[in-house]
Chain A
Amino acid sequence: MNDRWCKSFLACAIFMAGLAVPALSYSKESAQEWELLNPEGVIQVKPMKVNPHPATLEGKTVVLRWNGKHNGNNFLNRVAELLAEQVKDVKIIKAWEAFPETPGSSSGAAASKDFAQKLAGLKPDMVIASQAD
């Protein structure tokens, strides 16, 4: 009786294992050695020398530069008021009033570069920019 029970159990176990093996092989991918390319590519950026800032804005020319987005001018108008109140002899130029025909930076890289050249012509000691969005 025990012997028959054992043989039945063994047969059943073998049968169940036979059912499971195909299922296991479907879910098991083969691991392999891969050689792959890094798709990022190297970066090419020329370092830019950034200029030292003045120790004070007293007596200096400050240009306020607006990128044309909503409220950027309102933000800078308030900055202009506070500069006038708190900084002695500061000269404030609002770029959008000096160059009303100039579009904001959203019109592209070339337009931004042209605008920068125009601002440089005002000979500012500092440019404060608003990138509103």
Chain B
Amino acid sequence: MGIPTVTTTTTDFLDLARTSMASVGAPDMAFVVVPHPMGGIKLEDIRAKATAAFPEIMKAATQWKPGTTAVRAAKAAYPAERFTLRGTVSDVTALYYGKKWSDGLPIVPPTPERVKAMLGGTTRKPDAVLGIVPPRMGVLTVELAAAHAVMAGAKPEYLPVILASAEALLDPRHDWRSATTTTNPCAPLIVVNGPIVKELGIQYGTGALGPGPFSAPNATIGRAVNLIMDIVGGSQPPSPDKTTLGTPASFTMVLGENEKANPWSALNVQQGTKAGASTVTVFEVRSFVNFNLHEPNTAEGILHPIAKNIGPVVGLAENGFECKPDVKELLILSPEHADTIFKDGWSLERIKNYLFETSRIPMADYLIRNNNKKPGCRQDETMPTVVAAPGCFLIMVAGGEGKHSVFLETTRYLPVTKEIVK
């Protein structure tokens, strides 16, 4: 736009600032470094930091000159670079770990033969570009995705799910860059619908989100996607992934929907896909709240405690109080809870309306949390809703026997559904 800028950043975010500048092709932008933190300190302290930084701000504003750092010339994305190594499997694992080409677990060495075998799982051309993965802006081809699938231990038949998941995350509506560089503990959740769930043995019942003897599809599909994010996208802690504590869900979080146990519309149909399609829907998950509800035998008995907790989680625990109507929060009902609610005559619409109305929180509580700053919407309400509309709730059914349902707070990075193409 032709406008000179000076950006302040704190010491702890300096690396992220440099990565961000490089990723937009401006490695030499002017910035001023302030001691961390800026947020969460008293007024007099932040004013003192501004006073101390002001001479540097003036210098950057009036004396900055572009540097000579060159942006690297583009190389061909396909075929992926190969290299040779003499050593043992342990040596390969150690090399990949040392180069940050790992999530901390041993990888399966991506030899050309293994990658070629993996590419047999899709009809897509290996040189097809799926997208540019932020914040490093690595070019993700089908071949490169296959290499990560090999590293993760996936089977060739899982590759179409991995490709669809990567494309969904790369969709601009999802804002993957923000999700991978935030201080929040965001982790991609990949929900799989349709016939492919059973074809591939993707877990959707008992223990579906945990490890187990049959969890290879869930474990390796999610792992491949996270490796892509970390390696091609470069999003690793401590920078540019600034997640304060992180989450184990970042290793993998893949879940099939138990569509047979869902008496209403499947998740992907709620997202606008035709019934029966094999799809992935990607979310960024933060809070995972379990509802251990053995006693209630009515719809309201189950949904009341859920709604009463959604409000504080979304509006107070997370910065999820949302004005936009397209943000989605996810409730995973166990089959038994879904059955009770359905037999009580509740439709999906009624469930969503109930959650919307019953999850209201006192504005007074929100103001304490927000340093008396009112939200951008519903400011004059004393008991505002925490989301903009009932349609902001998505309901799915998963899990096995037992009376535990789970609410997942899923950030403002919009969920995206993509059809799986073999």
Contact = CB atoms under 8 A, between A and B. Distances in A.
- By secondary structure, the B interface counts as mixed
B105 interface: no
Interface residues on B, range: 35 or more
Interface string B225-244: 00100011000000000100
B11 to A, nearest CB: 11
Contact of B139 (A44, A79, A126, A133): A44
A107 B13 CA distance: 19
Interface string A117-133: 10110001111111111
Contact of B49 (A75, A125, A131): A75
Contacts of A116: 1
B24 A57 contact: no
A109 B38 contact: no
A84 to B, nearest CB: 12
A116 B2 CA distance: 11
A54 interface: yes
Nearest to B51: A78
Contact of A128 (B5, B34, B82, B115): B5
Contact of B82 (A38, A48, A69): A38
Contacts of B82: 35-38
A50 B40 CA distance: 33
Contacts of B8: 75, 128-131
Interface stretch (B85-93, B259-267, B358-366, B389-397): B85-93
A78 B47 contact: yes
A40 B101 CA distance: 8
B62 A129 contact: no
Contact of B109 (A34, A82, A86): A34
A39 B231 contact: yes
A72 B38 contact: yes
Given A50-B29, A57-B61, A78-B50, A40 B4 contact: no
Contact of A44 (B47, B112, B137): B137
Q: How large is the interface on A (under 10, 10 to 19, 20 to 34, 35 or more residues)?
A: 35 or more
A105 to B, nearest CB: 9
A123 to B, nearest CB: 9
B30 interface: yes
Given A54-B62, A127-B3, A48 B26 contact: yes
Contacts of A78: 46-47, 50-51, 54
B292 interface: no
A40 B23 CA distance: 15
Contact of A34 (B7, B60, B92, B182): B92
A109 B89 contact: no
Contacts of B75: 42
Nearest to B84: A35
A52 interface: yes
Given A39-B147, A82-B50, A106 B3 contact: no
A6 interface: no
Contacts of A39: 80, 96, 101, 110, 144, 147-148, 151, 227, 231-232
B110 A36 contact: yes
Interface stretch (B171-179, B200-208, B347-355): B171-179
A108 B413 contact: yes
Interface string A67-96: 001111011111100100010000000000
Contacts of B147: 37, 39
Q: Which of A36, A44, A50 counts the most chain B CB atoms within 10 A? A: A36
A122 to B, nearest CB: 10
Interface string B101-137: 1000000011110010000000000000000110011
B245 interface: no
Residue of B5, B74, B132, B137 with highest tally of chain A CB at under 10 A: B5
Contacts of A25: none
B10 to A, nearest CB: 7
A9 to B, nearest CB: 36
16 contacts: A31-B88, A32-B87, A32-B88, A36-B83, A36-B109, A37-B80, A37-B112, A39-B96, A39-B151, A43-B136, A53-B63, A62-B61, A75-B50, A79-B57, A116-B1, A128-B61
Interface of B: 1-10, 13, 17, 22-26, 28-30, 34, 37-41, 43, 46-47, 49-51, 54, 57-58, 60-66, 71-72, 74-77, 80-92, 96, 101, 109-112, 115, 132-133, 136-141, 144, 147-148, 151, 172, 175, 177-178, 182-183, 227, 231-232, 242, 323-324, 371, 376, 412-413
Given A29-B88, A41-B138, 7 more contacts: A34-B109, A36-B82, A39-B80, A39-B231, A41-B144, A103-B376, A132-B10
Interface of A: 29-48, 50-57, 62, 69-72, 74-79, 82, 86, 101, 103, 106-110, 116-117, 119-120, 124-133
